[in-house]
Structure 1
Amino acid sequence: MMSAANANNVVVVGSGLGGYTLARELRKKDPAVSITIVTGDGGESYGKPMLSNALAQGKDVSALVQKSAAQMAADLGATLLTRSFVKEIDRQGKTITVTGPDGQPRPLAYGRLVLAIGADPRPYAVPGSDNVRIHTVNDLDDYAAWRDGLRPGLRVLLVGAGLIGAEFANDLALAGMVPTIVDPAPWPLGRLLPQELGAEVAKALEGAGITLRLGRTIARIEPGLAHLDDGTAIAFDRALSAIGLVPRTGLASAAGLAIDKGIVVDRRLTTSDPSIFAIGDCAQTEAGPLPFVLPLMAQARALASTLAGTPTDLTLPALPVAVKIPALPTVVCPPPPGMAGEWRITGTGPDRKALFVAADGQPVGFALTGNHIGERQAMARDMPAILA
């Protein structure tokens, strides 16, 4: 039976960037605390954002691994349970049920429990998709399956022209493959960019050898052939869906924790149970889910301080995001969802600057392409904080 070393031991579920950053920061602040990390994958440390540009950088799966699970356990002074899944949280008994590689469920006690379990790829289904392998890439295991067999000349169908779809398409094109993106939006990065900048990104992607079928959806699909809603068809050798993520809330919901779009947390990343916390893609802060690296790391650092005995509220300044599309360097600092206002755009051609001004005249977001991306930090200083 697995058991707790003391009443304050910390159990972290998830070994992604959030889970490992939390454990690292906590260990710095409290050399004595017992830390156990439970992860469904192999426990390797790697940079998840690197998955969408690894081909262009000449990195295979092994080269993406920064440290092995054994190295991470040693560095963190933690117990690491790999290929292990949490099936249940017993809040009253302060235990989780963990099923390891042998398939046997065992209880693991916790003093404080941190859910850093991320998000799942948004399901994609059209008529015929049950008979076609449509990959998603959400972790290193997914990437290994996706990467296997990729070679120059392959025709690759990508569903989704958002940030991840655009990044993967550019990476595939640089590696000599022939990508086609299908998306109902009229321009790439449609939720992040105004039309003028989106149109420049589209031109750049097309110039890089990527076919864009925008304003279109897949009506049905069969092995090697996607039929669009306008009656045309796209032949493909591999397919990848990149239509977004859905926070993993099932485990928390089953335990009776408050759930909305994600696992609801307060400014100290505490769930509706004072002994359970959540960070990263699975968590919903006052600002909503924050599916980017910098907010995740800020959450991990704040929570580490709280767990080490210094209660710390999460604060987040404006955090611009660099989109990894070498065809046209792009930076976005999106305005709050649903904010009324207008984009004000300057520049010409691929070198554009867009400022989103709210109805009260205050700038609350921006987007930059080409030569203007060097202005990101200066512009970010003028933006309102995400969480002050």
Structure 2
Amino acid sequence: MRDHEPAAGTAGRRLTTRETAELLGVKPETVYAYVSRGQLGSRREPGGRGSTFDALEVEALARRNRREGGGSAGQGGELSVRTGITLIDEDRYYYRGVDAVDLARRHSYEEVAEWVWTGRLRPDAVFTAPETSVAAARRAVEALPEHAGPTDRLRVAAIAAAAADPLRFDLSEDAVLGTARVLIPTLVAALPPARRGRPRDQGPLAHRLWARLTGQDADEASLAALDSALALLVDHDLAASTLAVRVAASARAHAYAAVSAGLGVIEGPLHGAAGGLAHRLILEVLDRGSAGPVIADELREGRRVPGLGHRLYQGEDPRARALFGLLEEIPRAAPALAAARDIVATTARHTPLHANVDLALAVLTASCGMPSSASETIFAVARTAGWIAHALEEYGERPLRMRPSGRYVGPRPPRPLPG
């Protein structure tokens, strides 16, 4: 039987739940999970005791699940992609098998990025960018309207840097790593400084980024917290933006374009912009003196309280725990830390949710005089390293494997031409 042909005897008839489960190789409960996710239609026949399923539709789903390549549907219809970069397990996460929190505690963002890319540490790694790349990115960013957001600037900077790189289509590992080591500092250098004067684009990346986020003077503890935040956020398995990067890389888009795909997704309030919502929540709690009335307003308006809970962790987000520990060493962070604890304690009376990394980032940004958009900038710069790692993995796979099949639910053809 060729892959596009229906099984003998199935065309035109309905399958029972048991037959459908056997054909898909799953449990009957999983069949209904497919239905709830909109991946499979069901119908209850008059006088029948159970649901029935269109045989051709079931065959099509079975073909998608059997399709070769890393992108495949696992039980319950969720996309599964082979990766050797990040493992999340029992409220901890690991970069290439090493505890990510321990790496961030002992190594700089640049060193962690190198580990994620290659599985090798480069002690004292520092990323620098050629003036041609920086100049092109700055000119493009400076042409944007004043109200442009941080992700707008980063996206434009990435496109401009790509246009200035005639070797961008070289997808060999060495070439992509070279691009990564240039692109990340270019993104930072293209951001406008937080106070007058052009900051020096030398030294650790966290120091350079600080000058783009706040006009306050940096102290050692605050810089360490920012550097660790970057390292903690390098990667987090297949987040939505990372999946977009892998789809672009599967189509053999160059590294700049793959990063641009990630930046296009990260702006959403359920992803990179979530820290900004938590930042504003922290400021409101500080302004009103208590989390109680602030949380009440959020719930009254039907909004989800930002900075709490994470679908991949039953307990506290390990990134938040690590960052909170560093923030406790910063005296000026004490009020925002207290506000965050008040938020967690207040919401626990209703729903026992733990703090996530967005709330920890909000404490950092609110206590260091940064705007609410700063956490989005931190998130995007940090995650660029992880996106590069995933692009590298995808370049080693079969091209265009990230190509799911749609389940057509429109009118059945043939239809007459519209009048």
* Shorter-normalised TM range: under 0.3
TM-score, structure 1 as length reference:
0.22
Larger helix percent: 2
TM-score, structure 2 as length reference:
0.21
Larger strand percent: 1
Q: Who wins on radius of gyration, i.e. which is larger?
A: 2
